[in-house]
């Protein structure tokens, strides 16, 4: 059995990770930490785990966790992992980081967008960007995995085949994305209160969202050149889900079947990538509670643009499910192990 530790177990992503790992046939959760709930049991924080998980929540002690765990999931915001993980820790255990500390290879870019000093520059070369459908071959055997963000996972997987094949003008890419409220985390902030979110939709962090350089960097690898794009996130009054509607100008005349062939070339054998049928477009309700990404597209012949729509559950494929998928790769398991979750409907 793989012995797993979860740091930040009581956040939304941490809670989702617990839910998934409790049903994973090859994993035993041996430690969970939560700074705000030290000494409490997990089912005191989440009543839905009554008689299921009453593990006592500890303070974070990286040295002790590294000795006891085969893998540690860092379900914490940016800036934490880089401070507490070093080569000594990585010599004893594997780290899967939910934060952004090791997603962007250029530390200066990270500092510009996140506004904090990067404390782990010496580990950037060892970290692998954990987008499983793209990097599984280099994920194997590594000890530090940067779990991608939710907006980025949806946007990159939706656009990557077209970028890699040179079928779109990368200077024209616009990503218009919407997220459920859980994407902002479990902290108490005025902007996320029910009365502030309900019956309203808003754009936020226009031209300044921190996921922008992550999307640009990863699509740049596919294009083999630097990319700049427009990314605008929106907050939607729902609990879960990411919907990314992506626009770009085509570089040549193509048919629906031509584009479909390209997506099948890249994703035909990817269990967690589902291509919708012609005329049917992804909806967040069809992926909720699952590790799937649904992708659909249409061609606007009048403007010579392609419109690609992607949908994921931000807490599963956009966070905890993808982290487990990464863990499965790291330990030589079938990627689907513990993740064959049928989407929940209605929910």
pLDDT tens readout for residues 224-247: 999 999 999 999 999 999 999 999
Count of residues making up the chain = 347
Map residue 332 onto helix, strand or coil: coil
The H-or-E segment that residue 6 falls in is: strand 2-7
| Active-site amino acid positions | 150
Looking at residue 196, its pLDDT comes to 82
- What is the spatial distance between Cα 127 and Cα 114, in angstroms, rounded to a whole number? 18
Angle subtended at Cα 343 by Cα 163 and Cα 299, rounded to the nearest 5 degrees: 30
Between the CA atoms of 225, 118, 148 and 242, what dihedral angle is there, to the nearest 10 degrees? -100
177: alpha, beta or left? (left if phi > 0; alpha if psi -120 to 50): beta
Q: Are 33 and 59 in contact (CB under 8 A)?
A: yes
The H-or-E segment that residue 202 falls in is: strand 202-203
In angstroms, how far is CA 298 from the centroid of its own chain? 25
Q: Are 79 and 124 in contact (CB under 8 A)?
A: no
Inter-CA distances, 311 with 20, 76, 292, Å: 20, 24, 8
Q: Are 81 and 90 in contact (CB under 8 A)?
A: no
Structure tokens given for 185? 């985390």
Structure tokens given for 104? 């962007």
The H-or-E segment that residue 65 falls in is: helix 62-68
* pLDDT, tens digit (0-9, with 9 covering 90-100), for 7-18: 999 999 999 999
Structure tokens given for 334? 């079938």
pTM for the structure as a whole: 0.96
297 strand-pairing partners: 308
Per-residue pLDDT of the chain (347 residues), as tens digits, is 999 999 999 999 999 999 999 999 999 999 999 999 999 999 999 999 999 999 999 999 999 999 999 999 999 999 999 999 999 999 999 999 999 999 999 999 999 999 999 999 999 999 999 999 999 999 999 999 999 999 999 999 999 999 999 999 999 999 999 999 988 777 767 777 777 888 999 999 999 999 999 999 999 999 999 999 999 999 999 999 999 999 999 999 999 999 999 999 999 999 999 999 999 999 999 999 999 999 999 999 999 999 999 999 999 999 999 999 999 999 999 999 999 989 999 87
Map residue 299 onto helix, strand or coil: strand
Map residue 94 onto helix, strand or coil: strand
Torsion sign, CA atoms 14, 3, 288, 234 = positive
Angle subtended at Cα 32 by Cα 29 and Cα 38, rounded to the nearest 5 degrees: 155
Looking at residue 21, its pLDDT comes to 98
334: alpha, beta or left? (left if phi > 0; alpha if psi -120 to 50): beta
- Burial of residue 312 (number of CB atoms within 10 Å: 0-12, 13-18, 19+): buried
Looking at residue 188, its pLDDT comes to 61
Q: Are 158 and 227 in contact (CB under 8 A)?
A: no
Parallel/antiparallel/unpaired status of strands 174-179 and 202-203? unpaired
Parallel/antiparallel/unpaired status of strands 94-97 and 2-7? unpaired
Q: Are 62 and 113 in contact (CB under 8 A)?
A: no
In angstroms, what is the C-alpha Rg of the chain? 20
Domains and CATH numbers, the chain: 2-148+316-330 (3.40.50.720), 151-312 (3.30.360.10)
Structure tokens given for 23? 């049903």
Contacts for 47 with CB less than 8 Å, ≥ 6 apart: none
- What is the spatial distance between Cα 102 and Cα 127, in angstroms, rounded to a whole number? 6
């Amino acid at each position: 059995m793989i012995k797993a530790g979860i740091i930040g177990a009581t956040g939304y992503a941490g809670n989702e990770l617990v839910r998934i790992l409790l049903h994973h046939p090859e994993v035993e959760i041996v430690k969970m930490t939560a700074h705000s709930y030290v000494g409490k049991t997990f089912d005191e924080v989440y009543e839905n785990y009554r008689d299921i998980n009453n593990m006592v929540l500890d303070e974070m002690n990286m040295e002790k966790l590294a000795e006891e765990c085969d893998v540690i999931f860092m379900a914490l915001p940016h800036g934490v992992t880089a401070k507490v993980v070093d080569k000594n820790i990585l010599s004893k255990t594997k780290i899967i980081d939910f934060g952004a500390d090791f997603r962007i290879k250029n530390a200066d870019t990270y500092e510009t967008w996140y506004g904090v000093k990067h404390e782990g520059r010496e580990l950037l070369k060892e970290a692998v960007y954990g987008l499983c459908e793209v990097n599984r071959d280099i994920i194997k055997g590594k000890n530090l995995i940067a779990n991608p963000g939710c907006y980025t996972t949806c946007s990159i997987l939706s656009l990557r085949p077209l970028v890699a094949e040179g079928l779109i003008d990368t200077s024209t890419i616009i990503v218009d994305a919407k997220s459920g409220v859980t994407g902002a985390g479990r902290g108490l902030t005025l902007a996320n209160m029910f009365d502030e979110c309900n019956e309203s939709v808003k754009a936020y962090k226009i031209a300044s969202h921190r996921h922008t350089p992550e999307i640009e960097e990863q699509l740049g690898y596919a294009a083999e050149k630097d990319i700049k794009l427009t990314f605008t996130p929106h907050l939607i009054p729902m609990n879960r889900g990411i919907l990314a509607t992506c626009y770009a100008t085509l570089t040549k005349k193509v048919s629906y079947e031509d584009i479909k062939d390209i997506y099948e070339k890249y994703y035909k054998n990817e269990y967690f990538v589902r291509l919708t049928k012609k005329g049917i477009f992804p909806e967040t309700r069809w992926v909720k509670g699952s590790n799937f990404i649904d992708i659909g597209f249409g061609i606007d012949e009048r403007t010579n643009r392609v419109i690609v729509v992607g949908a994921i559950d931000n807490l599963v494929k956009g966070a905890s499910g993808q982290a487990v998928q990464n863990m499965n790769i790291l330990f030589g398991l079938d990627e689907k192990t513990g993740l064959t979750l049928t989407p929940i409907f209605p929910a």
